[in-house]
Amino acid sequence: MRRNLLSHVRRVVIKIGSGVISGDDGLDNAIIGGIVGDVAELRRQGYEVVIVSSGAVAAGKGDLGIIGRPRTIPLKQAAAAIGQSRLMRSYKEALRPLGLTAGQVLLTRDDLANRRRYLNARNTLMTLLEYGVIPIINENDTVVVDEIRFGDNDNLSALVTNLVEAHLLVILSDVDGLFDSDPGKNPGAQLIPLVERIGSGIEAMAGDSNSHFGTGGMVTKIRAAKRASLYGVGTAIINGRTPKILLRFFAGEELGTYFLPARDRMAAKKHWIAFTKKPRGKLFVDDGARNALVSKGKSLLPSGIQGVEGGFDRGDAVRLCTLDGTEFAKGVINYTLPELLRIMGKKSSEIEGILGYKYGDEIVHRDNLVLDSQDQD
């Protein structure tokens, strides 16, 4: 069955966790070399490969005398500044004897939240693939602040899967996959080979574990799989420290946990709105407006808006809420906050008379709107 699930795959995003390529003394170059060897063979078999790699902080923290995870953001950023070049050097040195070249791409959430920069990043990555270069992507930890962080590289890998229109996301972890209970505490824990739908039960099963070196645990991997699933892409979680694991997986061995893609694929633009653009404010709408959006697939008009919160410009993302504060959707707004304060509660036909101009009848067009039911259980 696994071979059939992979038969359509030609472009794959491989996320490599800190726990896979890091040890107490820094990077494990033997593991990196093994993974790169598998990637080279996959290239020879006709696959296009994009790597999202953690490990910069783990590679640089030793120079600062840090044991374990850095406790503050400045320490983490300093460790990343030291370790990122070391991480790339390890990949380049492993790829060079195999006749392959690595291209470093450092991203922040802000890069992908801006549609123009999003498309520019996509064009860069597609050009690297066209010329046979292996893109190696990481979050730009050295300069990133909380407002523009992806949060973890599991999340980043899911967004990159959408960005490059990959057919599969493979997450290399330091565990064999998703178990029905914590294998560290329960010797009888069973590996779950296939997940057809990622519901609340699956997320709860993932527990609350965190990596010793990174920011992600199984929960973040499940969330990444869910996001990729909504874009119509399957995800595999396999043990990256197992020799030849990628070659065995792509040969069809039943390894790790495979998450099937959702039946109803979310359009690329809506996936970008749902998961990449960070909301800058909230709009509070009445029951009639909510019903029109949720049940009838309509756009949000000014007449249904009863209140606003935050600060936003035209083109920013906002959360849509009921009057009691319950969030139910996210969308891209067509008007600035000062403009909206003047026209909310009014009819669309009154907009031009109030502002002296008009961008459209809709405050949030239905094509730029994602309901929470589309990205949650």
Integer angstrom CA distances of residue 231 from 59, 159, 187, 275: 33, 10, 35, 11
Is 221 within any annotated ligand binding site?
Answer: yes
> H-helix or E-strand containing 136?
strand 134-139
Lookup result for tokens 């292996």: 134
Is 23 labelled as part of a ligand binding site?
no
Sign of the CA dihedral running 82, 85, 89, 92: positive
Residue 250 neighbours by CB under 8 Å, 6+ apart: 6, 9, 42, 45, 47
Whether the CB-CB separation of 134 and 100 falls below 8 Å is answered with: yes
Per DSSP, what are the bridge partners of residue 174?
Answer: none
Asked whether 40 and 98 are in contact (CB, 8 A), the reply is yes
User: Known binder of ligand: residue 235?
Assistant: no
Question: Strand 317-321's sheet: what is its strand order?
Answer: 305-310, 279-285, 317-321, 327-332, 369-371
Residue 218 labeled ligand binder: yes
367 annotated ligand-binding residue: no
Query: Binding site annotation covers 219?
Result: yes
d(CA 284, CA 163): 31
Identify whether the C-beta of residue 325 lies closer than 8 Å to the C-beta of residue 312: no
Q: Is 205 annotated as a binding residue?
A: no
Q: Is 220 marked as binding a ligand?
A: yes
Q: Is 217 annotated as a binding residue?
A: yes
Known binding-site residues for ATP equal: 15, 173-174, 215-221
Known binding-site residues equal: 15, 54, 141, 153, 173-174, 215-221
Known binding-site residues for substrate equal: 54, 141, 153
